[in-house]
Amino acid sequence: MAEPTGPPDETGRRVLEERARALAAALVAEEPVDTVELVVLTVGSERYGVDAERVGEVRPLAELTPVPGTPPFWAGIVNVRGTLHPVLDLRRYLDLPAADGGDQASTIVLVSGAGLTVGLKVEDAAGVRPVPAGAIGPPLGAASEAVNAAVRGVTEDLLAILDIQALLADPRLVVREVPT
């Protein structure tokens, strides 16, 4: 691409000014936009975002006690500073395939919603990123039923955002074992 090396002409000057204005406007225009802070989780080989408002704490997976007689997606319970919390194996719940190296879940993310606080067993919590509320689109809908029920929307860079309120309100989660 051959760029003229001489002094910029009138057209060139105008283009440069427009760029400068656009760059300056971007900084000013961002200020009023409503943003959502998402915590990015790695589940199996996929990544999901969770609203930071719902996240209480991220912990390394330790002292997990399995509870017999529960569906396979319940991994067990953990003791966090004297309080017992159920742990949900998010990959099994979302019916996702395991990553290439097998089940490597090593992190628990405590989330709250629908009057419950549940630990999500995930591969990793990659970090927190702000997403403009306007940039969140509707779910893609091409995924499994469980995923479709749990996903609220998709960001521009295709990060599915889990709706914790809806997920925790899922009646499948409730265990009602009647002793026979």
- Told to check if 66 binds another protein by CB under 8 A, we report no
Q: Work out how close the CB of 18 gets to another protein at its nearest, in angstroms, rounded to a whole number.
A: 30
The DSSP code sequence of 31-68 is TT--EEEEEEEEETTEEEEEETTTEEEEEE--S-B--T
Q: Kindly state the DSSP code that residue 103 receives in the 8-state scheme.
A: -
Q: Which residues pair with 57 in a beta bridge?
A: 110
How far apart (Å, rounded) are the C-alpha atoms in residues 28 and 130? Answer: 17
How far apart (Å, rounded) are the C-alpha atoms in residues 96 and 7? Answer: 59
Q: Which is nearer to another protein, 107 or 162 (CB)?
A: 107
Question: How far is Cα of residue 97 from the mean position of the Cα atoms in its chain?
Answer: 17
- Told to check if 58 binds another protein by CB under 8 A, we report yes
Q: Give the binding range for another protein (CB under 8 A) out of 1-9, 13-21, 55-63, 66-74.
A: 55-63
Q: Work out how close the CB of 151 gets to another protein at its nearest, in angstroms, rounded to a whole number.
A: 20
How far apart (Å, rounded) are the C-alpha atoms in residues 48 and 54? Answer: 14
- Told to check if 59 binds another protein by CB under 8 A, we report yes
Residues 4-43 that bind another protein (CB under 8 A): 37, 39
Residues 116-155 that bind another protein (CB under 8 A): 125, 127-128, 130
- Told to check if 63 binds another protein by CB under 8 A, we report no
Q: Which is nearer to another protein, 41 or 147 (CB)?
A: 41
Amino acid (one-letter) located at 33 = V
List of residues contacting another protein (CB under 8 A)? 37, 39, 52-53, 55, 57-60, 107, 125, 127-128, 130
